[in-house]
Amino acid sequence: MKEELIKKAYDIAAERYAAMGIDTNKVMDQLQNVSISMHCWQADDVTGFESAGSLTGGIQATGNYPGKARNMEELRADILKAASYIPGKHRLNLHEIYGDFGGKFVDRDQVEPAHFESWMQWAAENGMKLDFNSTSFSHAKSGDLSLSNPDKSIRDFWIEHTKRCRAIAEEMGKRQGDPCIMNLWVHDGSKDITVNRMKYRALLKDSLDQIFATDYKNMKDCIESKVFGIGLESYTVGSNDFYIGYGVQRQKLITLDTGHFHPTESVADKVSSLLLFVPELMLHVSRPVRWDSDHVTIMDDPTLDLFNEIVRCDALDRVHIGLDYFDASINRIGAYVIGTRAAQKCMLRALLEPLAQLRQYEANGQGFQRLALLEETKAMPWNAVWDMFCLKNNVPVGDEFIGEIEKYEADVTSKR
Ligand code: RNT
Ligand code: ZN
């Protein structure tokens, strides 16, 4: 797109927003500071480098689009390629199974910071900060229950794994001079009617207490609930109620995965309630289509609502934004770019909201005025600000990245 045209459109947009009391330059500065934690697992359908086993734990990546990353080198190259089409500086969210195991099998209860040494170096070289996840799925000892398994030896195995993951996250945080956010999600649940529901939850609570016994300064723990997994439809040990209770009592971060709630539940509405009781939140921004399908994030109403809430709660510094989807049916680098840019666009639109005026209307009981302004806001020229933001960041404007990704596909991924 012509630079001149982008600037012209931006100037007009800036004037329109200024009339609403919004400084678009300031908004672009704010957006520049929003780092999205890009999930490493979109590049290879949640496979990782531990073993070639299949994906378990009630999650599924559907599709068989050619060109998925087959090793660490390809995964890193694909992530950097995707990042080059995304404005701003972002983080990388690693799962434990993506460790640099040097071709050897390193079991989950043996993993150490050394297995992430090359990642820490790579991240520093590329100006990316790291986040981390323990991995309870895709392992011979996963079964239906990990941290809540009545078999003490299996439980202890996963406790050891998760403790080690926290030590790795601490090392990452120390090295990057910024806390590493470590997410804990376990698939534990059961397919059919479960009568000892209390028992497994009590075990999970006890396991978490053991895992969190060590205090760290450079990492933050977050805990993620969900409604159900495939093959685990009747009971999820780590339900929403369970983790909210645990998180409030132990002051842990709560992870909200947008695919982990009942379809008509508003995830946006949870932000203000939770932030009154827990220190911070982590988001797994996803797109559930009829279930927790992990489709690519887009600029849809639930995502716009969610980002609006972060801004309306003045909580930009208390909400960490990560992505969580794994679509194996389309170009995977394209999937990263679409999803990350969509999250940024939602954030931009939230930052461009005439919040002071809306709050005023609301306080005055001016319901018509509030609704009218909300409606008008939808048609404001936010896209001109977005294009300018991309231009300033030296990344493709508009749909220009489509051709670039096609080229990378022709030259690189299609040859895999
Ligand atoms: C699963 C959870 C979890 C995983 C990743 C791979 O339903 O959303 O966050 O998607 O850990
Ligand atoms: Zn998630």
Q: Is residue 415 part of a domain?
A: no
Closest CA to 304 of 359, 265, 356, 344: 344
Q: Is residue 409 part of a domain?
A: no
Q: Is residue 265 part of a domain?
A: yes
Which ligand 1 atom sits nearest the alpha carbon of residue 229?
Answer: 7
Question: What angle do helix axes 382-392 and 332-351 make, rounded to 10 degrees?
Answer: 120
Annotation marks residue 215 as catalytic = no
Task: Compute, in angstroms, the gap from residue 180 CA to the centroid of ligand 2.
Answer: 17
pLDDT single digits (tens) 172-206: 999 999 999 999 999 999 999 999 999 999 999 99
Q: Is residue 213 part of a domain?
A: yes
pLDDT single digits (tens) 65-89: 999 999 999 999 999 999 999 999 9
Helices (H) and strands (E) in the chain, counts: 14, 10
The two structure tokens encoding residue 385:
């600000």
| CB-ligand 1 contact for 284 (6 Å cutoff) | yes
Q: Is residue 230 part of a domain?
A: yes
pLDDT single digits (tens) 208-263: 999 999 999 999 999 999 999 999 999 999 999 999 999 999 999 999 999 999 99
Which ligand 1 atom sits nearest the alpha carbon of residue 226?
Answer: 7
In degrees and rounded to multiples of 5, residue 295 shows phi and psi of: -70, 165
Cβ within 8 Å of residue 57, ≥6 positions away: 136, 137, 138, 142, 187, 229
Site of tokens 């805990």: 223
Q: Is residue 371 part of a domain?
A: no
Annotation marks residue 95 as catalytic = no
Longest dimension (CA), the chain: 67
**Position 85: which residue type?**
Y
**Among residues 144, 280, 294, 327, which one is catalytic?**
294
Instruction: Enumerate the β-bridge partners of residue 224.
Output: 255
Q: How far is CA 231 from CA 58, 327, 412, in A?
A: 6, 20, 37
Give pLDDT, residue 383. Answer: 98
Give pLDDT, residue 1. Answer: 62
pLDDT single digits (tens) 12-58: 999 999 999 999 999 999 999 999 999 999 999 999 999 988 999 99
Task: Compute, in angstroms, the gap from residue 288 CA to the centroid of ligand 2.
Answer: 11
Annotation marks residue 185 as catalytic = yes
**Among residues 226, 295, 320, 345, which one is catalytic?**
226
Give pLDDT, residue 52. Answer: 82
Residue 288's CATH number: 3.20.20.150
> Percent of the chain beyond pLDDT 90?
99
> Percent of the chain beyond pLDDT 70?
100
Annotation marks residue 294 as catalytic = yes
Q: How many domains does the chain have?
A: 1
Q: Is residue 400 part of a domain?
A: no
List the single range of 44-53, 339-348, 366-375 with lowest mean pLDDT: 44-53
pLDDT single digits (tens) 263-299: 999 999 999 999 999 999 999 999 999 999 999 999 9
In degrees and rounded to multiples of 5, residue 388 shows phi and psi of: -65, -40
Annotation marks residue 191 as catalytic = no
Protein residue whose Cα sits closest to atom 11 of ligand 1: 185
- H/E segment holding residue 320: strand 319-323
Site of tokens 């971060």: 253
Segments forming the whole domain that contains residue 340 = 34-357
Q: Is residue 168 part of a domain?
A: yes
